[in-house]
Amino acid sequence: MSTPVIPKSNNRSALLGAAFLMATSAIGPGFLTQTAVFTEKQGANFAAVILLSILIDIGAQVNVWRIIAVSGRRAQDIATMIVPGLGWVLTTAIVIGGIAFNVGNVAGAGLALSSVLLLTPLEAAITSAMIGIGLFLVKEAGQAMDKFAQWLGFLMIGLMFYVAWVSSPPILLAMQKAVMPDKIDFFSLVTIVGGTVGGYITFAGGHRLLDAGIKGQEQLPQVTKSAVTGIIVTSIMRILLFTAALGVVSAGAILHASNPPASVFYNAAGVLGVNFFAIVMWSAAITSVVGSAYTSVSFLRSLIPFVEANQKITIVGFITLSTTIFAIVGKPITLLLLAGAINGFILPLALTVMLIAAYKSTIVGTYKHPWWLTVFGVMVIIMMLGSSIYALLKK
């Protein structure tokens, strides 16, 4: 079957949409909470963890997106072609991690919306979930999702830049510690990498490109660019939040345990900062709800016929289930911190599957995977697996 010809304008829109879907899926409440908490604990040394995580993120993301694009298959189908039943194993891990993430996403949306409206966190979470569900019920849900992610992504970065600027962070100290840290905390490394490219997030943009018809070897340069763009957007947001938090804690402020990122915004910009936080937190949460639901369900589509035939209904059910779990379990801050760590353990499995697939002609045809990307990918697997085990034993 030949690859469909896609108009260049639609191609560019889909590539940018995939990048922002991945980025905004990563920039969720857990992302904000983790960055604030780890900055308070580690200070400028956290800059080294961020720098290392960016390199790992690029290595993971580019490998995965290229294999998905060149094979023209979703990750679970690739896994099944390697070992029968492996697709189910990967899907189960992704969906469980996706639910854990989405419970945190719904919780974060509730926390943000309840701070500006006369609603309880649960009422605000339900309201936010309904907005996310509504996005998938429109006729052109894919295009709506792309635009939604892009506009809210730009909004978050703009507001975060202002907060970082007014917090007066010690930039030179952060730059120094980025390359010469006193120590590196491996638990925080596993957590933020897991929260950026772990679990379902690794595949969010790649699966979105497939749905948009972008696949094949001739598309690889653009696919690679899109993958790196997603990491750059995510990294900009991480660095801005880190510098804002560093400025605040360096001035002697103590972040409130119940909502660490809100403390950063308040201490940096006062009442205006609180309003900005509500916007950023809700935007981060709702875009992550959308990305988590879409990608997790995409793993079930080729394995369960009902899901393929009823994708929108399944997505609605996924969001509803996540909201119900939050209503029963509660403890949003704990869930936000644990979600990234859970997905950090999934990354080595997912990346191993992709690298094996890169050398199977039945999957990638005549494509020759660059050796340096393979080396990069193996290094990421070893580093993440070792760091995950170390962090688990330490805790």
Alpha-carbon distances of 306 from 80, 302, 303, rounded to whole Å: 19, 9, 9
Average pLDDT over residues 336-362: 78
| pLDDT bucket at 134, cuts 50 / 70 / 90 | confident
**pLDDT for the residue numbered 37:** 92
Chain position carrying tokens 């353990």: 345
Q: How many CA atoms lie within 13 A of 177 on its CB side?
A: 21
SS3 call for 50: helix
End-to-end CA distance of the chain: 51
Cα separation, 80 vs 362, whole angstroms: 12
Query: What is the set of domains in the chain, with CATH numbers?
Result: 8-394 (1.20.1740.10)
Q: Which two tokens stand for residue 40?
A: 């308070």
Q: Residue 5 above 50 pLDDT?
A: no
Size (the chain), residues: 395
Closest among 395, 394, 383 to 57, alpha carbons compared: 383
SS3 call for 169: coil
Cα separation, 273 vs 178, whole angstroms: 27
Q: Residue 367 above 60 pLDDT?
A: yes
Which position has the higher pLDDT, 384 or 77?
Answer: 77
**pLDDT for the residue numbered 143:** 78
Q: Residue 4 above 60 pLDDT?
A: no
The single-letter code of the amino acid at 176 is Q
What share of the chain in percent tops pLDDT 70?
91
Alpha-carbon distances of 85 from 61, 95, 309, 310, rounded to whole Å: 24, 16, 22, 23
Q: Residue 395 above 60 pLDDT?
A: no
59-85 pLDDT tens trace: 889 999 999 999 999 999 999 999 999
The single-letter code of the amino acid at 233 is V
Average pLDDT over residues 264-286: 89
Q: Which two tokens stand for residue 4?
A: 């469909």
Q: Which two tokens stand for residue 321?
A: 């289930």
Mean pLDDT lowest among 20-24, 246-250, 388-392: 388-392
Structure letter (DSSP) for residue 2: P
Q: Residue 194 above 80 pLDDT?
A: no
**pTM for the predicted model, two decimal places:** 0.84
158-191 pLDDT tens trace: 999 999 999 989 999 999 999 999 988 888 888 7
Mean pLDDT lowest among 26-30, 125-129, 204-208, 387-391: 387-391
Q: Residue 2 above 60 pLDDT?
A: no
CA angle 299/365/20 to nearest 5° reads 40
How many Cβ atoms from other residues are within 10 Å of residue 200's Cβ? Answer: 29
Under 8 Å CB-to-CB from 5, ≥6 apart: which residues?
Answer: none
Are 126 and 323 within 8 A, CB to CB? Answer: yes
Q: Average per-residue pLDDT in the chain?
A: 85
